[in-house]
Structure 1
């Protein structure tokens, strides 16, 4: 069975803007409220605010960026979030784009895979209460988190390509994908995850797919909604490489053509309610454990009420 969750479809400027989405998770059969990296209201703080306002819903961070936090701070914040909400949390991490690594760290990671491996190793050990003694290529940790009773924190890793999928299989509890067609998860990412998990002698992580989605509405071009949702991702070399591997022909395209390619290639799900539900079911068939509904494009192109309407209709249809 596949769970369905909700992504906050914008970057909040005030924490109370999160409350309608936390309430939606609280009052429906949605599994979890997710947020990606935000540079306005920081996600840990926003979720803690929602918990303090009475919406203590399960939270997922998908993904926060490693250059912004030392592993000790990452473990501390993740455990704090689980304690504030009273629910197991998913703390997803990713190295970010090379340009971001350069700007924050002074140089990009020579090997993002090694950096991710060190990071997850340190965070997991800290969350388990161990004394950590790590002298890595990228991270140094000689510390221990004070023991505390807290709900479980599951470690997630952002996965776009087979290399990082292998690291997820080796170390993560959850592999988190973004903008990845269902067939690409099935044929490329899941085999790499499972192979690595077998080699590491551990269970394979679950897979959470954050899927951009929009219901059709009169007077709205689906390609414009897809572009509103993913214009920044269509500029990222790592996203472009993933999409090309998935057979989504975005190379050399105009932004509008690239957006249409996302729809045609199954990276952006749109159509009437029956069509959307059928396309989302492909993720279940591909082996995905959790689908996160991402209506960012609807929010940007049509506003908050349209985004909320889409979420309510889709959730009612897929969780009945």
Structure 2
């Protein structure tokens, strides 16, 4: 059975801005509240604030960026969040873009796969209360967290392409995808995850898809919402490569044309309520374990009330079966 969750559709400037979305998860059948990397209110702190305000909901970090923190700090923050909320946490990590790596580290990772493998291996050992003694090409650690009972922390890895999907199969508990059509997940990502899991002799990780969606709104075409939601991603070479692999006709030169391609290629879902539900069901059939509803485009174009209205209508319809 596929769970449905909610993404905070903006970068909060004040922690109280998260509360309506935490409340939505608390009061509906939504499974989890997710947030990607934010550079205003940092996600761990925002979720802890919501917990202190009474909304102790399961949290998903999808994803935080490895160059920002050492894996010891990452493990400590993830466990601290589980302790603060009293609920399970999905701690997703990703290497970020090459430009960010260059800016923060002095040079990009020669091999993002190696960097991610080292990072998650260290974090996993620390969360398991092991003494970690690792000297890697990118990350090293000799130490341990003080053992203390806490809700579970699942390790997530941001996945776009087959190489990272195979690595997720080997080392992660959860693969977290963004802007990936259902057919691409079924035909490319899941087989690669199974390959990696078989190589490591472990079960296949859960697959979480963060999916941009919008209901119909008078005066705004779906491509407008798609562009408002994903303009930055349409500038990223790794996203463009993934979309081309998925058969989405993005050229990387005309961002408006590429936004239209997201809609026609099934990377951005829109329509009336029944039509949108049918498109979401394709993710269930593809084998996705958790779909995260991302209404960032609606928020940016039509405002906060319309974005919340879309989420409430979609979640209510999904809950009704």
TM-score norm. by structure 2 comes to: 0.99
**Correspondence for 1:255:** 255
Tell me, what secondary structure is at the counterpart of 2:4? strand
Instruction: Please state if 1:102 is matched with 2:128.
Output: no
Q: Which residue number in structure 2 is paired with residue 265 of structure 1? A: 265
Trace 1:1-320 onto structure 2 (pairs within 5 A): 1-320=1-320
CA 1:21/1:252 → structure 2, altered by over 3 Å: closer, same or farther? closer
- 8 Å CA contact 1:15–1:49 kept in 2: the answer is yes
SS at match of 1:74: helix
CA distance in 1, matches of 2:226, 2:251: 16
Q: Deviations over 1:61-97 (max 9, x none)?
A: 0000000010000000000001111111000000000
Secondary structure at 2:277's aligned position in 1? helix
| DSSP 3-state at the match of 2:240 | helix
Unaligned runs of 5+ in 2: none
SS of the equivalent of 2:34 reads strand
Larger deviation, residues 249-258 vs 270-279: 249-258
Given that residues 235 and 252 in structure 2 are in contact (C-alpha distance below 8 angstroms), is that contact kept between their aligned partners in structure 1? no
- Counterparts of 2:253 and 2:141, CA distance in 1: 45
- 14-23 or 252-261: bigger deviation: 252-261
* 1:82–1:150 CA contact under 8 A, matched in 2: yes
Q: What is the Cα deviation at residue 42 of structure 1?
A: 0.2
CA distance in 1, matches of 2:217, 2:251: 29
Say whether the 8 Å CA contact 1:33–1:58 is kept in structure 2. Answer: yes
Shift of 1:47: 0.1
Three-state SS of the structure 1 residue aligned to 2:288 is coil
CA offset digits 1:80-129 (Å, max 9, x no partner): 00111111100000000011100000000000000000000000000000
C-alpha separation in 2, matches of 1:240 and 1:317:
32
3-state secondary structure, aligned to 1:10: coil
**Which contiguous aligned blocks of 4+ residues in structure 1 show a shift greater than 2 angstroms?**
none
Cα separation, 1, equivalents of 2:319 and 2:61: 22
Say which is worse superposed, 251-260 or 193-202, in terms of deviation. 251-260
Contact residue 4 and residue 319 of structure 1 kept, 8 A: no
**Does the 8 Å CA contact 1:223/1:259 hold for their aligned counterparts?**
yes
- 1:123-150 deviation per Cα after TM superposition (whole angstroms, max 9, x unaligned): 0000000000000000010110001110
Aligned residue pair count: 320
Structure 1: stretches of 5+ with no match in the other structure? none
Query: 1: CA distance between counterparts of 2:60 and 2:123?
Result: 16
